Structure 1
């Protein structure tokens, strides 16, 4: 059981302090070829996802699939892990909301 007296990390801390071993491209088993379109799968960082999302022009839409495809291409991987990418997209969004709640202007987020 965890220590309840320890405070939770803020979303900003989660965004800016990823695990030390990320990003990394992992070589998966042969069965990944069917699921991921290849065996080399990128496990990104929240900051990589944030950086890519910030490049999307105002008023334009980018899908999770497009984010994953671009990150995989940038790292010469076959695909990007859908689970971690989804988690990191949430961290990016929650960090923006946290910044708004702390009084940061929308333009700076």
Structure 2
């Protein structure tokens, strides 16, 4: 049985962001929209860029990242997973 990865290993794992067009509606995103699937490193960089004492909700973060990567939306599922990885490191 393979050894379970640590949170730090998950954060450092080499991944490439993906831009996908949705075939069907998903979460708060309509069919045909262009969606960013970020990486743990992208989420970590964004969180570290938030000024001390400032609050940014996930909806704002998803919108900001989508604009940065020229997409319409950012995937809410992977964003949540990657936020947990960042929080655990």
TM-score (norm 1): 0.74
In structure 2, the residue corresponding to 1:58 is in which secondary structure? coil
The answer for the alignment partner of 1:65 in structure 2 is 59
1:67 Cα deviation after fit: 1.0
Q: What are the residue-to-residue correspondences of 1:39-58 with 2, within 5 Å? A: 39-58=33-52
Q: Moved runs in structure 1, 4+ residues, more than 2 A? A: 31-35
The answer for unaligned runs of 5 or more in structure 2 is: none
Post-superposition CA distance 1:28-58 (Å, at most 9, x none): 11x3388315610000000000000000000
Alpha-carbon distance in 1 for matches of 2:43, 2:54: 16
- Work out which structure has the larger RCO, using CA pairs closer than 8 Å and 6 or more positions apart in sequence: 2
The answer for unaligned runs of 5 or more in structure 1 is: 96-109
In structure 1, the residue corresponding to 2:28 is in which secondary structure? helix
When you count helix as a share of all residues, which structure comes out higher?
1
1:15 aligns with 2:8: no
TM-score (norm 2): 0.89
- The total of aligned residue pairs comes to 88
Name which one, 1 or 2, has greater alpha-carbon Rg.
1
The answer for the alignment partner of 2:76 in structure 1 is 82
